[in-house]
């Protein structure tokens, strides 16, 4: 699938991100989550989905534990403990568990939005997009990434030299091994700092900072970007409108209030927009006609 323009995607993921943060209605969050998961699967990146999920499991578990422990509200009590010093009595309620589960869903949602952004855009295009407005920052960042790659080679080089000189890195004793590694650290540190000055001089010699920067290529706004901007606009309108209607909120405490009809109807509108976005992604991937048009 053709990658989207960074700005389109930044706007789209920002809206999704704030939707995920603002709403605490489980159905709202679920529909955002399902939308992102389906789109990632449509893009054929199930593997990355799994690894990101793994990242999230630990924090989600933490949320699931903390919420019931910290929150004493709720009518349906599952467990009641005796007095514990400092913290006091602990009571675990069904509502608090449900709230924790809801928050864990939210967390997954937010995690996957970041992955979704990465899959829908090209990293280089994001870079060149930002370099237009913040060229010092992007220059620093791209130099950093470049140096990270170079450092790996540098470490290997220094290590080889040290081994030739008779340093034993496979020392059993941890203390001795650390002593063997320490000089590497220092050499790398000094060498890379030295290298940075060379790099600066070469940038200077090529006339960096002597005028307006030119660019080799420009990121073009394609047809699909216009379509997504349309989706962005409608979604944003709905979110703002929903904010005034005060939808997307559910009361968990003291008891779960259930789902309001008005909220469910509003959710259908949002879901229609999200389904259109999914269809668009699917179309760009599978439907030849749309693929050539876009």
Partner 1 sequence: MNYGVISVSILLISFICIFVSYERQSISVKEISLIATLSALAGVSRVPFAAIPNVQPTTFLVIISGYVFGPGFGFMVGGIATLASNVFLGQGPWTPWQMLAWGLAGFSGGILRKFFKNPSRLLLGIFAFCWGFLFDYIMNLWHWLAFVYPLTVQSFIVTYINSFYFDLMHAVGNFTFAYLFGKDFINILSRFKDRIHYTEIPNQKID
Instruction: Closer to partner 1 by CB, 153 or 261: give it.
Output: 153
Instruction: Closer to partner 1 by CB, 208 or 226: give it.
Output: 208
Return the structure tokens found at 55: 């990242």
Instruction: Closer to partner 1 by CB, 128 or 192: give it.
Output: 192
Instruction: Closer to partner 1 by CB, 142 or 223: give it.
Output: 142
161-179 burial by CB neighbour count: b if 16+ within 10 A, else e? ebeeeeeeeeeeeeeeeee
Q: Which residues of this protein are in contact with partner 1, per CB under 8 A?
A: 18, 21-22, 52, 55, 59, 62-63, 65-67, 69-73, 86-88, 99, 103, 106-107, 110-111, 114, 118, 123, 134-137, 139-141, 143-145, 147-148, 151-152, 182, 185-186, 188-190, 192-193, 195-197, 199-201, 203-204, 208-209, 252
How far apart (Å, rounded) are the C-alpha atoms in residues 105 and 98?
11
CB of 260 to partner 1, least distance (A): 19
State whether residue 92 is helix, strand or coil.
strand
- Measure Cα distances from 255 to 2, 89, 102, 248 in Å: 47, 20, 15, 17
Give the residue from 185, 127, 137 showing the smallest Cα distance to 159.
185
CB of 141 to partner 1, least distance (A): 6
CB of 93 to partner 1, least distance (A): 13
How far apart (Å, rounded) are the C-alpha atoms in residues 217 and 160?
41
Helix (H) / strand (E) containing 82 = strand 77-84
How far apart (Å, rounded) are the C-alpha atoms in residues 109 and 16?
9
CB of 73 to partner 1, least distance (A): 7
CB of 199 to partner 1, least distance (A): 5
CB of 273 to partner 1, least distance (A): 21
Instruction: Closer to partner 1 by CB, 186 or 286: give it.
Output: 186
């Amino acid at each position: 699938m053709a990658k989207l323009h960074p700005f389109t995607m930044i706007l789209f993921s920002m809206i999704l991100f704030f939707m995920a943060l603002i709403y605490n209605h489980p159905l709202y969050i679920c529909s955002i989550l399902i939308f992102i998961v389906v789109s990632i699967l449509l893009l054929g990146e199930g593997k990355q989905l799994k690894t990101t999920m793994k990242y999230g499991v630990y924090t989600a578990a933490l949320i699931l534990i903390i919420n019931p422990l910290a929150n004493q509200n709720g009518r349906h009590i599952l467990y009641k403990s005796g007095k514990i010093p400092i913290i006091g009595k602990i009571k675990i309620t069904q509502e608090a568990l449900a709230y924790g589960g809801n928050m864990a869903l939210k967390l997954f949602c937010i995690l996957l939005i970041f992955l979704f952004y990465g899959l829908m855009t090209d990293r280089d295009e994001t870079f060149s997009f930002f370099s237009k407005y913040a060229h010092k920052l992007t220059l620093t960042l791209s130099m950093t990434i470049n140096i990270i790659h170079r450092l790996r080679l540098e470490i290997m080089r220094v290590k080889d030299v040290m081994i030739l000189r008779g340093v034993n890195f496979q020392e059993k004793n941890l203390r001795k091994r650390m002593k063997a590694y320490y000089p590497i650290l220092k050499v790398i540190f000094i060498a890379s700092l030295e290298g940075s000055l060379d790099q600066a001089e070469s940038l200077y010699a090529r006339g960096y900072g002597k005028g307006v920067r030119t660019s080799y290529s420009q990121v073009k706004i394609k047809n699909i970007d216009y379509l997504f901007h349309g989706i962005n606009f409608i979604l944003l309108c709905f979110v703002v409108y929903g904010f005034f209607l005060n939808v997307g909120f559910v009361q968990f405490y003291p008891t779960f209030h259930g789902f309001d009809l008005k909220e469910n109807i509003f959710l259908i509108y949002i879901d229609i927009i999200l389904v259109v976005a999914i269809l668009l992604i699917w179309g760009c991937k599978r439907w030849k006609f749309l693929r050539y048009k876009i």
